[in-house]
A and B are shown apart, each in its own frame.
Chain A
């Protein structure tokens, strides 16, 4: 099946710093990628949808200036958490859909801890 990777798998940073998370589709081209956030013992919450070469569409309540998304190619999307604070600590998961459509393939997730 299609493989989606994320890097890093976990990151610890100080409050006020910015963190970039990469999401790559390894064996297929992804026209659309999604970013989710998951707090402990809760479900996944969609943050934004990004299409290659265009601006991301953010869900209500998600600050676009804080969570910068760049989908520069058909195999790479990045999420940058700017000026991170402890409340941004969460599990961030990306997913991707191939050019022919179909189901979403999820990455392994990135655990962000902001001290």
Chain B
């Protein structure tokens, strides 16, 4: 199982760009990288998914270097409501992500 390592916590201020990096040194060829956001007492919410290079959607960007051993979630201009735990996961999309393992996640605190 591909293990991920993220910073335990990060602090930011409203309006700043936040970059959260995740290490996944033993990522497999078929693994995709997926990021989820979780608020207290709620289920995780899908943010973004990618395989290589760069992926962008309306809420975030995901940067993946050529060796795929790490990835960076970029949140532009964060607001107070972005305070949450962010999880990086790697898993084989073709097998239904049955190999997904949640790490400890990164607790992002956005202050005024």
Interface residues of A (CB under 8 A from B): 1, 4, 6, 31-32, 36, 43-46, 49, 91, 93, 95, 97, 101-109, 111
| A43 engages B87 (CB within 8 Å) | yes
Q: How large is the interface on B (under 10, 10 to 19, 20 to 34, 35 or more residues)?
A: 20 to 34
A32, A45, A101: the one within 8 Å of B94 (CB): A101
- Pick from B11-19, B38-46, B66-74 the stretch touching chain A: B38-46
10 more CB-based (< 8 A) A-B contacts, given A103-B97, A106-B36 = A31-B96, A32-B98, A43-B103, A45-B102, A49-B98, A101-B96, A103-B46, A106-B44, A108-B42, A111-B41
Residues of the B chain whose Cβ atoms lie less than 8 Å from the Cβ of A36? 102
User: B49 an interface residue at 8 Å Cβ cutoff?
Assistant: yes
A1, A103, A111: the one within 8 Å of B34 (CB): A103
A108 to B: closest C-beta gap in Å = 5
Cross-chain pairs A/B with CB under 8 angstroms, 5 sampled? A43-B104, A46-B100, A103-B97, A105-B46, A108-B42
Instruction: Decide if the interface of chain B is mainly helix, strand, loop or mixed.
Output: loop
A8 to B: closest C-beta gap in Å = 13
Report Cα–Cα, A9/B101, bound state, in Å: 24
A4, A44, A104, A111: the one within 8 Å of B97 (CB): A104
Report Cα–Cα, A91/B42, bound state, in Å: 9
B14 to A: closest C-beta gap in Å = 25
| A109 engages B96 (CB within 8 Å) | no
A53 to B: closest C-beta gap in Å = 15
| B97 engages A97 (CB within 8 Å) | yes
A32, A43, A45, A109: the one within 8 Å of B43 (CB): A109
| B87 engages A107 (CB within 8 Å) | no
Report Cα–Cα, A86/B67, bound state, in Å: 46
| Residue of A with least CB distance to B95 | A101
Residues of the A chain whose Cβ atoms lie less than 8 Å from the Cβ of B94? 101
Report Cα–Cα, A105/B98, bound state, in Å: 13
Residues of the A chain whose Cβ atoms lie less than 8 Å from the Cβ of B36? 106
| Residue of B with least CB distance to A57 | B98
